[in-house]
Amino acid sequence: MKTRITEMFGIEHPIIQGGMHYVGFAEMAAAVSNAGGLGIITGLTLGTPEKLADEIARCKDMTDKPFGVNLTFLPSVNAPDYPGLVRVIIEGGVKAVETAGNNPQAVLPYLKDAGIKVIHKCTSVRHSLKAQSIGCDAVSVDGFECGGHPGEDDVPNMILLPRAADELEIPFVASGGQADARSLVASLAMGADGMNMGTRFIATKEAPVHENVKKAIVAASELDTRLVMRPLRNTERVMTNDAVERLLEKERKLGPDLKFEDIIEEVAGVYPRIMTEGEMDAGAWSCGMVAGLINDIPTCKELIDRIMSEAEEIIRGRLTGFLN
């Protein structure tokens, strides 16, 4: 299947693995890239330029296919060494960068000069248009269903994707709620040139996370996520657990007086305990509603091959059949 996204990133299938905290290590990115998609290393999980450089080198040892690095720009007291991270991405010969969070305009000239294609993650049409105007090559349009931060507009992909298609000139992929061939074909029908999967890729054999995390995703239904930090206008969709329900109770009790410090125990520094050690009630961790569509733990190759063969069946069989 050829789309503007496969052509842009030099990949076989229009499937991207989004950056995920404490998931996007070299093993994950290489497995997706080897299966024909675009694997992504999560830059801020590594934290320092030195560690990211080592991870890029490890990934190159595992695959000769294109892979990318996610750079999320967040306001913080102790900001990461973004110039250093950009430098090692360029020096490492990485050909794709997924940016997210704040406006990536400051780093774009360096990435573009190095011939790197930049895809920016957006939760609205206006942010997508801004990404296009500052020179991003593509956008990942992230609907309200997504795990992690869905923005504050609450627009699901059945509306957001066609709206993006109406407005954008650069290619975009659908993100949020993507799990299988049906997701891919529907996204293509609504104007996308591919899809970005996060939660679905956590439930794969190669995902470098604790088995408890994979089992939790398989066991969950579409009703098992919660939206936290809404009062702080930093909404995040997470898998429900004891810590999350405790956090929501604090939000209800404190109302407009809620401060980040009140919930720090439930959200700060919990990812290593969950993803690495499998402590499923340690705190809030990003998970999409798409968990309701995830019922197995295949290899990345099995997953991507299945998606592509079933997508062809849907397009050639079911959809063409309606015309006959």
pLDDT value at position 301?
Answer: 98
In tens, the pLDDT along 199-234 reads 999 999 999 999 999 999 999 999 999 999 999 999
Mean pLDDT confidence for 30-36: 98
pLDDT of residue 74: 87
Region 175-191: what's the mean pLDDT? 98
Alpha-carbon distance of 212 to 124, in angstroms, equals: 33
Percent of the chain with pLDDT over 70: 100
pLDDT over 90 (residue 11): yes
Residue 137 has φ and ψ, to the nearest 5°, of: -80, -30
User: What is residue 280's three-state secondary structure?
Assistant: coil
pLDDT at res. 75: 78
Q: What mean pLDDT comes out for the span 30-44?
A: 98
pLDDT of residue 76: 77
Gap between the Cα atoms of 116 and 60, Å rounded: 16
Q: Output the pLDDT for position 33.
A: 98
Q: Residue 157: is its pLDDT beyond 90?
A: yes
pLDDT of residue 117: 98
Between the CA of residue 111 and those of 44, 49, 92, 106, 187, what are the distances in Å?
17, 15, 12, 10, 28
253 contact partners, CB below 8 Å, separation of at least 6:
none
pLDDT in tens, 262-313: 999 999 999 999 999 999 999 999 999 999 999 999 999 999 999 999 999 9
Closest CA to 56 of 67, 65, 45: 67
Q: Are 111 and 71 in contact (CB under 8 A)?
A: no
Per-residue pLDDT tens for 236-267? 999 999 999 999 999 999 999 999 999 999 99
Residue 66 neighbours by CB distance under 10 Å: 17
The pLDDT of residue 58 is 98
**Cα–Cα dist 271/285, whole Å:** 7
Using alpha carbons, list the distances in angstroms from residue 132 to 88, 153, 189, 192: 25, 20, 22, 15
Tokens (6 digits) for 163: 């709206």
pLDDT in tens, 74-119: 877 788 999 999 999 999 999 999 999 999 999 999 999 999 999 9
pLDDT at residue 78, as a whole number: 84
**Closest Cα to residue 117, out of 60, 164, 68, 72?**
68
The Cα 94–Cα 71 span in angstroms is: 13
For the segment 179-204, the average pLDDT, to the nearest whole number, is: 98
Mean pLDDT of 161-190: 98
Please state, rounded to an integer, the average pLDDT across all residues of the chain: 97
Name all domains of the chain by residue range, CATH numbers in brackets.
4-209 (3.20.20.70), 221-286 (no CATH)
